[in-house]
Amino acid sequence: MTIGWHFDNTYSKLSNTFKENIKPTPVHDPELIILNEELASTLNLDFSKTDKKKLAEIFSGNSIPEETNTIAQAYAGHQFGHFTMLGDGRAVLLGEHLVNNDNRFDIQFKGSGRTSFSRGGDGRAALGPMLREYIISEAIHSLNIPTTRSLAVVKTGEKIVRENLLQGAILTRVASSHIRVGTFQYIAATQNIENLNTLVDYTINRHYPEIKTSNSKALDLLNLVMEKQCQLVINWMRVGFIHGVMNTDNMAISGETIDYGPCAFMDHYDPKTVFSSIDKFGRYAFSNQPPITKWNLARFAECLIPLIDKNEDTAIKLATDLIDNFQNIYEDKWLNMMRDKLGLFGEDKDDKKLINDLFNWMEKNKADYTNTFCNLMDINSNELYKNNEFIDWKNKWKKRSEFNNSTKEKQSKLMKSNNPIVIPRNHKVEEALAQADEGSLDKMKKLLDILKNPYANQNNIKEYQLPASLNNEKYQTFCGT
């Protein structure tokens, strides 16, 4: 019997500055809760002949696959603007699994026990937050947005202490790598140029081999990462996703969405929407995601200054000019993304005003973000959209659409590929998590099944399209540590 693991662990071969060699802490009584068979197939892994008890042993870290070299990675991070030396305080990287000899994926346990980076924490994770990451990361993947993914969740059979006693759990996360802006910050803080060069070369070899022979590798890397991160946040804005904890240690150099802590999707449109219980001042609110992306990239640029140019003033100018261009790149991409959402081809000087007028109406009338665009596709009508102001706006939109020099069918196709019909509605996620905590995955599995096809107008999904009823109770999410 063979599962098909094929580990090749290049990151663990870096010097000890980059990591700690450590194994997951064994757990008392592991139980497999969910296995992502579709992802397993993508990874050329076959668990069909492995019983649930053995799977629980594997995905809890009690039984480590051969050829792994388990480590906790070192990194730093600006957490809500404050710099801290961090690292994997509750995660262990098993290694890099190769698919077809050239596609490399990190396999990481989250909630696998204490490491030297735990800073007094217990190194464990609770069932609810791990299942939340499973649901949301799979939803983001189905929305065609780059993301880490979830392969499995096990219960540990142990209780962990948070506000209350909670069921312990471990999530297996799959990523193209776990190299973060914070990884560069950690190495830069040690002021070891050799290690910084090593990290730049490693990152380029792994993610951006097209610039391996460049004479300006550090600047080119900064430019490529900026492009990827800009496109990522554009996609978040497209679907109303709020990451919730955009610290520099949660910005992956690969351009994937990483770390699903206090994340959630916006219901009624409000650019100031915040769900995180610890984001008291709205630093990571919906509308702040683009400027925070730029801020994080500026911290990345600071790390690379010694490698951009031997003359520090020249290096700072080159990096500053590049980062300052973020706003222009973002605005162009955002405007084109919004044209796609509205099914508009070409460009018109009044497009930005047309889009902003829609957002102003949505905010004033507490219109649902997702369903407003569905309404424009003749899906999901209700009394709100019979509002005279909205009808006037819609007439302007239709008039602009006439300049498309394209067919109604093409417009419809463009809109349907950019506007999801279903998203992980926060109250439906909470319902699924509450039931899972009581031992049933029925609601979670049904939710996951519907979220696999977010752009399709499926049958019997009405309850998954409705936002939670407006009340005075603020919906909050928590980071899980």
Q: Which residues are part of the catalytic machinery?
A: 249
d(CA 247, CA 276): 13
Q: Is 275 helix (H, G, I), strand (E, B) or coil?
A: coil
Q: Position of tokens 């690292």?
A: 87
Q: Which residues contact 260 (CB under 8 A, 6 or more apart)?
A: 132, 133, 136, 137
Place of tokens 């939803």: 139
| DSSP string of 29-79, one letter each residue | S-EEEEE-HHHHHHTT---TTS-HHHHHHHHHTSSPPTT---EEE--EEEE
Nearest partner of 454 among 418, 420, 414, judged by Cα: 420
List the structure tokens of 95. 């290694």
Half-sphere exposure of 121 (CA within 13 A, CB side): 21
CB of 131 closer than 8 Å to CB of 174: no
**What is the signed CA dihedral for 243, 245, 246, 251, rounded to 10 degrees?**
-90
Please count the CA atoms within 13 angstroms of the CA of 180 that sit on its side-chain side: 26
